[in-house]
Structure 1
């Protein structure tokens, strides 16, 4: 787990850091130090650090006091910060099922964000997206990864993957835009029978109105997203910027500001334009299935 994930309930991290960044911007503009801000709150500088990094919920009186100290007297701007703080506090109270996952680490951080997201855009180089995986496929991946020694832990990990998929069928469903490299569909995970069932599942989810699935074929050649897989997570709140999640072998990388997330959106859009249309993608999936 990365160091940032150890602070607070990560369900609210997007809004919390957004609020903290706004307070930091106001403090810098006012030419105040963290120690001076702490004195205005009758608190410690450590508290101000935690507030500005989004590690703790922030009370309305503290926001009002800081706004006054920083010279922000616009009622609409102050109200916007108060509303953001309220949303953040509500999110921190949420207790997600994913917190009970074995050895979840940064995965629980990702699931917490996905659970409150409105849309995810995912680019996958090596595997079928988790939201589309069958139990057998997910199980074969978990065993191959070797992160869990206990078979019961493997099953809990598989069940967690399936539980995430409920968001595709909720009253307000998660919208998913997935672009998958052809190699991910040809890589034999769990055997030929497992792959046939997995490709059938891809056809099923592609029929959902909230799912867009495209395949980037080998013949597309060089593309903008060759370096790594990633997922862009979007939220309904205007205050919450997109967050980008990238997993490497040894670590998890988060891009959490508008400048970085905009770059990933550009990369994703470029690669999606090179990918097959959904109808052609399904035809390619059918052809690969016949080979299995």
Structure 2
């Protein structure tokens, strides 16, 4: 699923669908119909359909009225919904730097959301997460993927990847928790010099207060992360209105339901428990670097 899902002349966004699914859940639990919901906000049934499917940006008054009508008394949850609606409106009209890079391809929607997220928890078994990659490492990955014909495209892709990393050091820095498999740190992407620099970058990043790095060692044996990599993107405190991102060889997949987010948060926690503590992880990274 790329930047938006098209439905005729409408388009949905990841945040819009996440918000719509939450409103649909609240309506179902309250026993209200779409027609009743439409009447309470003086709208048509089709507007409720569009809202619940994430096809349109949502107004704060409509969200407040519907929440009250559905009997939602949790003020904190209402505030979360309003915040997601605000972020979605901003996302729909945003002309961010990422739009200058068609080389990002399916990553465009992810990078746009990363720009407004409060936190990312990412598990990677095959390579170092993009937010922590050096330019040389990112370039070697792009070349190794054999997915690029034009060297200039590769350079622009690397430039865009590096630009993402500004989120880790801006005035409201992204909270990043990255768990990486030991095998990814031993894979000689780009050769020994490139890997030495990449491992040094990991150690430096881990010293920042908003970055946590863990390594799952070979000795951990079988663990829940072996089924595949994923990232959980948060737009409030962890666990509140999260979405899950998975990038495969053939497609980009967003899991937007509360159930999917909760399941992946549990899986992430289990992977973390199989990993070394942050201090021990950095020590292992240092040892691997010396071996190179």
How many corresponding residue pairs? Answer: 286
1:188 partner SS: coil
Aligned to 1:32: 33
TM-superposed CA distance for 1:58, in Å, is 2.9
Alpha-carbon distance between aligned partners in 1 of 2:173 and 2:83, rounded to the nearest angstrom: 25
Alpha-carbon distance, 1:43 to partner:
5.2
- Spell out the pairing of 1:161-176 with structure 2 (5 A cutoff): 161-176=161-176
Cα gap change, 1:172 to 1:71, in 2 (>3 Å): closer
Does structure 1 retain, via aligned residues, the 8 Å contact 2:124–2:181?
A: yes
The Cα of 1:50 is off from its aligned counterpart by 2.7
Q: TM-score, normalised by structure 2?
A: 0.84
Query: Could you tell me how far apart the structure 1 residues matched to 2:74 and 2:281 are?
Result: 48
1:63-78 matched pairs, under 5 angstroms: 67=66
After superposition, the C-alpha distances for 1:48-74 in whole angstroms (9 at most, x for unaligned) are 43322112113467668x849x95588
Q: Do 1:230 and 1:246's aligned partners in 2 also have CA atoms closer than 8 Å?
A: yes
Check conservation: 1:34, 1:49, Cα contact below 8 A: no
Asked whether the 8 Å contact 2:122–2:230 carries over to 1, the reply is yes
TM-score scaled to structure 1, two decimals?
0.84
Contact 1:17 1:53 in 2 (8 A): yes
RMSD across aligned C-alpha pairs, in angstroms? 3.2
Unaligned stretches of 5+ residues in structure 1:
none
Q: Which moved more, 1:18-27 or 1:133-142?
A: 18-27
What does 1:199-218 correspond to in 2, within 5 Å?
Answer: 199-218=199-218
Uncovered stretches (5+) of structure 2, i.e. residues with no partner: none
Preserved contact between residue 232 and residue 264 of structure 1 (Cα < 8 Å):
yes
Cα displacement (A) at 1:142: 0.9
Q: For residues 78-130 of structure 1, give each alpha carbon's deviation from its aligned partner in whole angstroms, at most 9, with x where no partner exists.
A: x8666764453234222211122224332111111111111111111000111
Higher mean C-alpha displacement, 50-59 vs 246-255: 50-59
Which residue number in structure 2 is paired with residue 114 of structure 1? 114
